[in-house]
Amino acid sequence: MRVLGIETSCDETGIAVYDDKLGLLSHVLYSQIPLHADYGGVVPELASRDHIRKTIPLIQQALREANCAAADIDGVAYTAGPGLAGALLVGAAIGRSLAMAWGKPALAVHHMEGHLLAPMLEANPPQFPFLALLVSGGHTQLVAVEGIGRYELLGESIDDAAGEAFDKTAKLMGLDYPGGPLLAKLAVQGDSKKYKFPRPMTDRPGLDFSFSGLKTSAANVIAKEGSSAQVQADIAASFQQAVVDTLVIKCERALVQTGYKRLVIAGGVSANTSLREQLAQLLKRHGGEVFYPRKEFCTDNGAMIALAGYYRLAAGQQQDLTIGVTPRWPMQELPAV
Ligand code: KG4
Ligand code: ZN
């Protein structure tokens, strides 16, 4: 089975062709980051308009690179949520219409399920069940995963997501949008013990997160210490360590609670090297293993959408003719496969 995947939920247009026998045949990505950089964040209307310009040419490119014609595609999968309504509608309208024109089934994919399954594209895919830490710009969630569509939400952020905390703190430091990767780069030169940032909600039981207070702590340090290059690097390193420690503490609790020995990390922040290293050490202490996607599939991409769509289409699930999106969509509402 060969699936075309379309991702347009935020500021990246990602298209891919996945084949269950041959693997990923092509994947192309267009990032709108330069378009939004002047505004310090994603402007939804500009995002939608740019997806309209880019989606069809990128589909043509992905099909060409996969060396396949429209007739070779057995199903079309597009992100239907969560995300920006207008941006989602572009991918949904194009994906649903193409599937109808081609006489093939369509599938509305949950963006976070795409992230969650992205490590399955790698050479050593995780077996079920596993614990998943989903850390993106919009979500921070701990999920017990027993199979595709069998998700139990163990904890989530009650305010800012981890990626959002990275981006907001980076913005306070004068870094460009999205600041997460830039802050992580600065952190390499800094002293992670220089400033004492809180490890929010680790002093009480439970698996929820709260990251909004961290940026206030960072703002206070910036106001007091100025912003020399060394101060910036030390703030970056100390802030990153506070986020990583918090995530590691909660992952350890969730591993103990579930008894699982496998941890999947996915979403944009899973590209963070320090987070990967410290979670790998945690799993080593527990006699387990950590799994993550290659860096380019940590952030938004079409490959993870094609893959998630494939699993559901192969099980006979499909979307009716409605062109619909679900900007707010709890992952637990997904049917099992
Ligand atoms: O998954 P993603 O591409 O989009 C959403 O679905 O939200 O995640 C983007 C987020 C941004 O907040 C970005 O700053 C963060 O992931 N990010 C990182 C790193 N790379 C991306 N945060 C920390 N360290 C990184 N290396
Ligand atoms: Zn994402």
Report the sign of the C-alpha dihedral through residues 243, 249, 254, 255, in that order.
Answer: positive
* Residue 163 confidence (pLDDT): 97
Among 109, 115, 166, say which to mutate for ligand 1: greatest number of ligand atoms within 8 Å of CB: 166
Contact 27, 302 (CB under 8 A): yes
Superfamily of domain 2-117+297-333: ATPase, nucleotide binding domain (3.30.420.40)
pTM score above 0.95:
yes
The CB of 136 under 6 Å from ligand 1? The reply is yes
Measured in Å, residue 163 CA sits from the centre of ligand 1 at 5
pLDDT at 206: 97
* Residue 180 near residue 269 (C-beta atoms within 8 A): yes
Which of 117, 269, 296, 331 to mutate for ligand 1's pocket (most ligand atoms within 8 Å of CB)? Answer: 269
Q: How much distance in Å is there from the Cα of 62 to the middle of ligand 2? A: 20
Q: Is 137 in the pocket of ligand 1 (CB under 6 A)?
A: yes
Are the folds of 2-117+297-333 and 127-292 the same? yes
Please tell me if the CB atom of residue 180 comes closer than 6 angstroms to any atom of ligand 1: yes
Domain 127-292 has CATH 3.40.50.300: no
Q: Is 324 annotated as a binding residue?
A: no
Q: Residue 173: which pLDDT band, with cuts at 50, 70 and 90?
A: very high
CA 247 to ligand 1 centroid distance, Å = 15
For residue 8, give Cα distances in angstroms to 51, 87, 109.
Answer: 7, 6, 11
Q: Is the CB of 79 under 6 A from ligand 1?
A: no
Q: Establish whether 67 is an annotated binding residue.
A: no
Average pLDDT in the chain = 97
Q: Round to whole Å and give the CA distance between 311 and 318.
A: 11
SS (H, E, C) 255-321: HHHHCCCEEEEECHHHHCHHHHHHHHHHHHHCCCEEECCCHHHCCCCHHHHHHHHHHHHHCCCCCCC
The torsion of the CA quartet 91, 93, 96, 97, rounded to 10 degrees, works out to -130
- Using pLDDT thresholds of 50, 70 and 90, give the confidence band for residue 22: very high
Angstrom CA distances, 91 to 1, 21, 273, stand at: 21, 26, 31
210 labelled binding-site residue: no
With beta carbons less than 8 A apart as the criterion, state whether 13 and 55 touch: yes
Q: Pick from 147, 119, 52: which is nearest to 263 by CA?
A: 119
Query: Strands of 75-81's sheet, edge to edge?
Result: 23-31, 12-19, 2-7, 75-81, 106-110
Question: What are 249-274's pLDDT values in tens digits?
Answer: 999 999 999 999 999 999 999 999 99
Distinct helix (H) and strand (E) counts, the chain: 10, 10
Quick one: what percent of the chain has pLDDT higher than 90? 99
Question: Rounded to whole angstroms, how far apart are CA atoms 39 and 318?
Answer: 38
Pocket test for ligand 1, best of 79, 134, 136 (most atoms within 8 A of CB): 136
Q: Which residues are registered as beta bridge partners of 30?
A: 13
Give the per-residue pLDDT at 225: 93
**For the chain, what percent of residues have pLDDT higher than 70?**
100
**Length of the chain, please?**
337
pLDDT surpassing 90 at residue 16: yes
pLDDT digits (tens, 9 = 90+) for 268-303: 999 999 999 999 999 999 999 999 999 999 999 999
User: Separation of 74 CA from ligand 1 center, angstroms?
Assistant: 32
Q: Report how far apart, in Å, the C-alpha atoms of 127 and of each of 22, 111, 146, 161, 337 are.
A: 20, 21, 9, 27, 15
Measured in Å, residue 268 CA sits from the centre of ligand 2 at 6
Q: Any idea where the domains of the chain sit in the sequence?
A: 2-117+297-333, 127-292
Q: How far is the CA of 227 from the centre of ligand 2 (A)?
A: 31
Query: pLDDT digit string (tens) for 181-203?
Result: 999 999 999 999 999 999 999 99
Q: Evaluate the CA torsion angle 134, 39, 32, 318 in order and state its sign.
A: positive
> What confidence tens digit (pLDDT) does each residue in 38-80 have?
999 999 999 999 999 999 999 999 999 999 999 999 999 999 9
163 lines ligand 1 (CB under 6 A): yes
Looking at the predicted structure, is the pLDDT value of residue 227 above 90? no
pLDDT of 226 over the 90 cut: no
CB atoms within 10 A of CB 226: 9
